[in-house]
Each structure stands twice: as C-alpha cells, then as structure tokens.
Amino acid sequence: MVSVVTRRRRLPRPMRRLLLEEFEVVVQPLVRFKRNGTWYIADGQICPERRVIRISCRLPLSERVLTLLHELVHAVHPWLDEAAVERRARWLRDHLVDEDLALLEAFCQGG
C-alpha cells in the first residue's frame, strides 16, 4: 500500500494580511445583505468597502472557519465563481498547518 503524504501549507500572505491588518471579523447571530432590492440570509459575507467580514454564530466552529476562508478567497480572487471559491476554501482548510487553523478559529469565536 502506498502512503500519500500531504504537505501542510501556511495561510497565503494576502489572506493573512487581510485577516490581521485590514479586515475586522464579526461573529453575529444573523448575516443579512441586500442585493438588487432583495434581502438574503447567508453563513457569511465580506463587505470590502467597510472592511468587515461577518460570520454567522449559528454555525459550528469548523463551519465558521470554512466560511471565513470562503470570504477571504472572495477578497483575494474576486473573479472566481462561487463553486471555485468554495473548492479553494475547502482545499485551504484541509491543507493548512495547525497554527493557521488555530488562528482562524480564534477569529471565529464569539457571537
């Protein structure tokens, strides 16, 4: 049987900078946003003009981390469609070093 070793990676620098220096992460009960006159409820949302990432506290911590990664991918790669953003966020979650996962978890506490 062949064992496959997956190399763990650090959170990409642009995402780390956004998280530590540029955006505030807010964990709150309800994440709503208005688009084209219609209100939507979401697990998370990034608001670049306000420099805020909002995450629903109704999610378990592991899903909050995935949602935060999802929103960071949106910030760094705004041209990607939702499916590509979700794939990239899941890949990052599965390949990040433990220290970076702990950092993301710390930002996702509260609510």
pTM score, whole prediction: 0.89
* CA 42/CA 111 separation, integer angstroms: 15
**Is 97 within the bounds of a domain?**
yes
Domain assignment of residue 7, yes or no: no
Number of domains in the chain: 1
The CATH code of the domain that includes 50 is 3.30.2010
Structural domain that includes position 63: 13-107
Asked whether residue 57 is assigned to any structural domain, the reply reads yes
Cα separation of 30 and 54, whole Å? 9
- pLDDT tens track for 2-51: 555 567 899 999 999 999 999 999 999 988 888 899 998 899 999 999 99
What is the pLDDT at residue 65?
97
